[in-house]
Structure 1
Amino acid sequence: MPRASAGVVDDYERHLTLERGLSEHTVRAYLGDVVLLLAYLHGVPTTDGEEPSGVTTTLEDLDVAVLRSWLAAQHTSGAGRTTLARRAAAARTFTAWARRRGVLEKDPGARLVAPKPHRKLPGVLRLEQAEAALSASETGAGEQDPIALRDHALLELLYATGVRVSELCGLDLDDVDFERRVIRVLGKGNKERTVPFGQPAERAVRAWLTGGRRVLAVRREGAGGALFLGARGGRVDQRTVRRVVHDAVGSVPGATEMGPHGLRHSAATHLLEGGADLRSVQELLGHATLATTQLYTHVTVERLKAIHDRTHPRAR
């Protein structure tokens, strides 16, 4: 890639990280798509099998025709609708920024239209399956093993609050308010929100703090203020949490295989089925738009239809 374009990518990375405050994962995804676009523009082969444009051009030559040609090449190489929609969105975000910074005279991304991704209904646990997974976890924690206490506490808190796995791992001791029974969460875009939790989660977290965390904290000098710790005493990582959720749900017969995000889906679905309104669930989950939260209404409708088909005498 030409040095000038590489410098633009570096500036764009600083913009995403420092000015927009996006997470490391989001920044990496945006940059990956932009690098693919610029490699196509400059005629540089990529490792994902995408054919370059075949013409060496400068960044100033980036227009809507190049963007459309790039997406067409992506489609030819086997990219699905979801991938195409994501890469088109990344391109639009980049060209809008480039126009504001004076890198481009016009914003070609403003005229770019891409196929909308298919929105798949998330797999969720039935209420009795969630209760079975948490009950089994509580039984294991009853043996007072520090890891078992931690696992039960994080499962209860995940399900009670519906927070993202990254938000859970980022929690500090000071983020838990037992008196009000809420946690302070730092979500996407460094947006802070307060999320309540119930008595089962309170009991589990208190048991972890008194009977488990102190044991793991001594395994690393200066363990810090992390709420949940790994086996070696440092802050628990997302991979560990995914394994804990996967194992807990996997112990329930007939349950859908899932990780923390599935537990988040389940919590949202059960809230709506219990009578919570969409706006409240949106606030609890930290969704930027109500459209994201509305996806869960489709889940509850599908479940109601399935129950109706199984039980109503005139369903068939």
Structure 2
Amino acid sequence: MEEFFTQFQSFVEYLQIEKNASPYTVKCYQSDLESFSGFLNQEGIHQLNDVNHQVVRLFLTNLYNQKLSRRSVSRKISSLRSFYKFMEREKQVETNPFIQITLPKTTKPIPGFLYMEELEKLFEVSDMTEPLGQRDQAILETLYGTGIRVSECQGIKLGDIDFTIGTIFIKGKGRKERYVPFGRYAEIALETYIQEGRQKLLEKSGIETDALFLNARGRTLTVRGIRLILNKMVDNAALTVHVHPHKLRHTFATHLLNEGADLRTVQELLGHDNLSSTQIYTHVTKDHLRDVYMKSHPRAND
């Protein structure tokens, strides 16, 4: 399968250079292609052109026998469809055997979000007299106040923040860039942390860095570090719900839509390419649903 690995590497370079795919996305494609390569080797198939509809059906059966979820199977088929599409473009194969394969239907769970009561408890746990408490509060206010991804939060530099107009320059997925606004609470938390806590943390390392968020040793905070900080804040707030950075993103979108923001605006704020990615947030909370009903239905009240 030496020929396959050469073609496979060409596809990876295409993802990295032409598609500006993130390292995580490239890793997922690599995993899916390696899985397919192993299957072909097991079946004694050594040429991509030898893969036909029957081989693909056999591959699907193999995946289901592994007890993979519909979501995992769907992702693998989608990856291989894209791979063969690229191979067709490069005239390395004659047809795309995955083009007629119907992706298994996957149920899209409603994203989890936090109610304001839960958020208030989180906002109250940080010790604002300590550098780490100031940092943690700034992280929380930034994540909820902007709806950015944890990786985007981790990558913020001091120069990316414009306090005069209240925006942060964000480098998103696929190297896409956007400006996101932030409100008064995030502004206060960020200014306090930058002017006080961050300076004290920086003194511990003695290393100059323009990274916004630092760890306890004064070095750049990692994505994993941000997750651990949130977990600790949840424990201190005695919350029974599981809170991860993406749940704050879900909460940001849900609260905006519940308060009347239009879907297109939320799409831009979240940095979604497609509106369909944003539509999963169009569910509403039970409280909001009841409030709208009580205010709007002619026979809801006396």
- TM-score of the alignment, normalized to the shorter chain, above 0.5: yes
Q: Which residue of 1 aligns with 2:187?
A: 202
Distance 1:31 1:307, change over 3 A: farther
Q: 2:201, 2:61 → 1: CA distance?
A: 53
Distance 1:236 1:281, change over 3 A: same
Q: 2:157, 2:200 → 1: CA distance?
A: 17
**Structure 2 residue 67 is matched with structure 1 residue 67:** no
Unaligned segments of structure 2, at least 5 residues: none
1:158-214 deviation digits (Å, cap 9, x = unpaired): 000000000001111111000000101111111111110111101111111111112
* Segment drifting more, 98-107 vs 148-157: 98-107
Q: Which residue of 1 aligns with 2:71?
A: 82
Aligned residues: 296
* Counterpart selection for 2:196 from 211, 228, 244: 211
Q: 2:208, 2:154 → 1: CA distance?
A: 14
Question: Contact 2:215–2:221 (CA<8 Å) still a contact in 1?
Answer: yes
Q: Which residue of 1 aligns with 2:111?
A: 122
Give the fraction of aligned pairs with identical amino acids, expressed as a percent.
35
Question: Contact 1:250–1:257 (CA<8 Å) still a contact in 2?
Answer: no
Q: Which residue of 1 aligns with 2:26?
A: 27
Q: 1:259, 1:216 → 2: CA distance?
A: 24
**Structure 2 residue 185 is matched with structure 1 residue 188:** no
Q: Which residue of 2 aligns with 1:6?
A: 5
- Report deviation, 1:259: 0.6
Q: 1:291, 1:190 → 2: CA distance?
A: 20
Task: Please state whether the residue corresponding to 1:109 is helix, strand or coil.
Answer: coil
Q: 2:37, 2:286 → 1: CA distance?
A: 42
Q: Which residue of 2 aligns with 1:261?
A: 246
Task: Please state whether the residue corresponding to 1:184 is helix, strand or coil.
Answer: strand
- After TM superposition, the score normalised by the length of structure 1 is 0.87
Amino acid at match of 2:167: V
* Segment drifting more, 25-34 vs 6-15: 6-15
**Structure 2 residue 31 is matched with structure 1 residue 42:** no
Task: Please state whether the residue corresponding to 2:205 is helix, strand or coil.
Answer: coil
- Report deviation, 1:305: 5.6
Q: Which residue of 2 aligns with 1:163?
A: 148
Task: Please state whether the residue corresponding to 2:99 is helix, strand or coil.
Answer: helix
Q: 1:303, 1:62 → 2: CA distance?
A: 53
Amino acid at match of 2:105: K
- After TM superposition, the score normalised by the length of structure 2 is 0.91
Amino acid at match of 2:183: G
Q: 1:308, 1:72 → 2: CA distance?
A: 48
Task: Please state whether the residue corresponding to 1:185 is helix, strand or coil.
Answer: strand
Q: 1:33, 1:306 → 2: CA distance?
A: 45
* Segment drifting more, 18-27 vs 242-251: 242-251
Unaligned segments of structure 1, at least 5 residues: 44-53
Distance 1:56 1:172, change over 3 A: same
1:122-158 deviation digits (Å, cap 9, x = unpaired): 2111012112211223xx12x2x22111111011000
Q: Which residue of 1 aligns with 2:101?
A: 112
- Report deviation, 1:78: 0.2
Q: Which residue of 2 aligns with 1:294?
A: 279
Question: Contact 2:258–2:288 (CA<8 Å) still a contact in 1?
Answer: no
